[in-house]
Amino acid sequence: MGDAPAETTKPLDSTDADAYSRLLRASTTDFFRDIQPGWGYSSITYRMKDFIKGVWRLARLPNGYELACETLVWFSISVLHRFDSPFVHILNSQRQNIYFLLDDAMLYIALEWWEKSAIWDVWTVVKDIRLGLNAGKVEWWERGSYFAKSLEFLLESQKVFDVRTMALLVAGHRLPPELTDQVSGYLLYHKGLPLTDVKAKHDWRSNVARASAAPAASLSASKARLR
């Protein structure tokens, strides 16, 4: 999580993920410029929207997903806790909301990454999050907001991938595919891991939307029966 080069802002037009990541980090040099007293929270959240858009662009470059996650962790420590940052002076609830925005961005980047990757190895990102937690900047009461959802998904999805890979290596060439799937399912169940799509479990936005739509659908069906 090293600091970005102290360069002036450059056009973020690189198609190389590593180069774009460096440019994105360098663009935060003036992140807190001209923030007026009392406007810390609104100014940070407003400017973070553009930064997170840049992180999404980074994620979708070749080999960009891991760098995007690492950049979010870097921002949470090296930018939010910089000497000129008003972050430490805003309300506790506002600090948690800012961490939530970063966590939500990482979670959905990781969900997309999971969907598009044949190989799954997220230990570098997990290590970065843990380093951020132990950097002495995140207060004890903020730890539940600091990339908590992302870390939960990364750890669980890694376990699911490892179990499926082990089942395939051990039984894949000896058993028909459907029996290999059964072996994999048994191992997942035994370890308390999701048997269905792990992405769907952690996609809280879709889950909330489905839960909200269910009562409306039930009400419509009831009205239809009364007609």
Q: What is the mean pLDDT of the chain?
A: 88
Q: What is the CA radius of gyration of the chain?
A: 21
Amino acid at 222: S
Residues 6+ apart with CB under 8 A from 184: 163, 164, 167, 168
Question: Which one-letter DSSP state was computed for residue 142?
Answer: G
- Cα–Cα distance measured from residue 19 to residue 64, given in angstroms and rounded to the nearest whole number: 11
Q: What is the pTM assigned to this prediction?
A: 0.86
Name the residue ranges covered by the structural domains of the chain: 17-140
216 or 46: whose pLDDT is higher?
46
74-126 pLDDT, tens per residue?
A: 999 999 999 999 999 999 999 999 999 999 999 999 999 999 999 999 999 99
